A and B are shown apart, each in its own frame.
Chain A
Amino acid sequence: MRADLDAIVRWVPEGARVLDLGCGDGALLRSLWQERKAPGYGVEIDDDSVIACVANDVNVLQVDLESGLGLFADASFDCVILSLTLQAVHRTEAVLREMLRVGREAIVSFPNFGHWSARLQVMLGKMPVSAALPYEWYETPNVHHCTVTDFEDLCRRLGIRIRERLVLHEGKPVSLMPNLLGSLAVYRCTQS
């Protein structure tokens, strides 16, 4: 399992109601159900992924998360998860606000653009390509890359309180200079 998913599963309390935005084939929701007895729904736009969710017996809602989470009532979830999707979201602020409208808590993970290998590649005049950022610039679905520092700045501006942070590289936690040495960041946030 992806390292960020491991952290997410640990952060979700037993029996919590979960919403997973951009849930892919529903693998995370399945493990949350198996390991945490946390019932949930996924939001996914891609046809094949949605069908995979149905086959995996995961509740999935085929709506565009960019156009808002209007299907969901205020505070109807304990955790709203956005794993490795933030960087592909167009209306970043609106989506973060919506997450904390429908959920008590938001869990967000993203590839850290501040990792030294990305910085080095840019310094050498190239757009970064790595395990965490696997796309060439001309084919990437990602539109809003950010660094650990950038994300924390945005949270501050939006009045979002960061409760917990885990920065990883190759699956291992990074505590020293995380914005330089971590390639993947996971946050647990609430409304302040």
Chain B
Amino acid sequence: MLVCHALNASHHVAGFYQNQPENLGWWDNLVGPGKPLDTQRFFVVGSNYLGSCFGSTGPASINPANGKPWGADFPVVTVEDWVETQARLADHLGIDTFAAVIGGSLGAMQALQWTLSYPQRVRHALVIAAAAKLSPQNIAFNEVARQAIMTDPDFHGGHYYDKGVVPTRGLRIARMIGHITYLSGEAMAEKFGRLLRRKTLGFDFDIDFEVESYLRYQGDKFSTYFDANTYLRITKALDYFDPAGDFDGNLSAALARAQAQFLVVSFKSDWRFPPARSREVVRALLDNRRIVSYLEIDAPGGHDAFLLEDPRYHAALRSYFATIDL
């Protein structure tokens, strides 16, 4: 079983390292012994995508040609590239066919791409909180995030590693924008309301509302561990993904190659990749008479719902995994 990660995660899918018991994997609620994706039944592979800052070669890695970090010279990579690297990893591990490839959001794009790049090597694809291509609105959000990074004076055209600085301000803003799109309006209202951080309105530009404090905290945290060049590249990978692009925009024609059985899951409160986008994928699969089930879960979490523990969502995945023959 191959688990593909989304924007800011890594190969660390579940569990924790011995010396960091509080640092749980990003899908720990789903993956593990006795969990819906039961590691006592499945051998689970989590790989870190090319261009990342968590292990695989990325912009911060050393370019052997000049002994310096790649920085801006690191190429823009695509979802197809990631699937290619994962296939080579599978070769290396001696895995001919995956029982399933699963992912949410950008991870779901990889799961979908797997069924197109290697139709014979994936039996089931679990495509969660997905879109077959980004909408102009999605691209617009990504562009604002990229502009925030690239206009940070510490960005230095992407060659900031040897200058001893990090475009922290840009990364913070990029993350804050991203975070707004991951949560539903409803989830934000429930979590923060209009609660004030201080006793009364300050009539200045310090933090008034809890939601501001939350966004700043998320932005600050992110800017300490994530690489700006990586962020630029993954948002481009998202923007570029469009399997129907080579087929005059006809997704049904694009998915004709797929052989896998599909489970497509969307969340009603997700406005970044709303259910209508998942239904486009389902419709294209139906046009090709593929085996597919589709769930539209009424969970409040927004796009991030795919990472959260909703009983219906997890029950459905658990049931689906149980039907996969080994």
Contacts and interface: CB of A to CB of B under 8 A. Distances in A.
Query: Do A and B associate with each other?
Result: yes
B295 interface: yes
Interface residues of A, number: 19
B293 A59 contact: yes
B135 interface: no
A50 B295 contact: yes
B244 interface: no
Given A59-B293, A60-B294, A73-B287, A51 B315 contact: yes
Given A55-B323, A60-B293, A60-B294, A47 B286 contact: no
A53 B292 CA distance: 12
Nearest to A73: B287
Contacts of B292: 41, 59, 61
A54 B294 contact: no
Main secondary structure on chain B at its contact with chain A?
helix
A62 interface: yes
B286 A57 contact: no
Interface of B: 263, 279, 282-283, 286-287, 289, 291-298, 312, 315-316, 319-320, 322-323
A88 interface: no
B296 A63 contact: yes
B3 to A, nearest CB: 19
A47 B315 CA distance: 10
Given A51-B315, A54-B263, A71-B283, A59 B298 contact: no
Nearest to A57: B323
A73 B286 contact: yes
Nearest to B266: A62
Nearest to A48: B312
B322 to A, nearest CB: 7
A72 interface: yes
Most buried by A among B293, B312, B316, B322: B293
A54 B286 contact: no
Nearest to B265: A62
Contacts of A47: 297-298, 312
A76 B286 contact: yes
B316 A59 contact: no
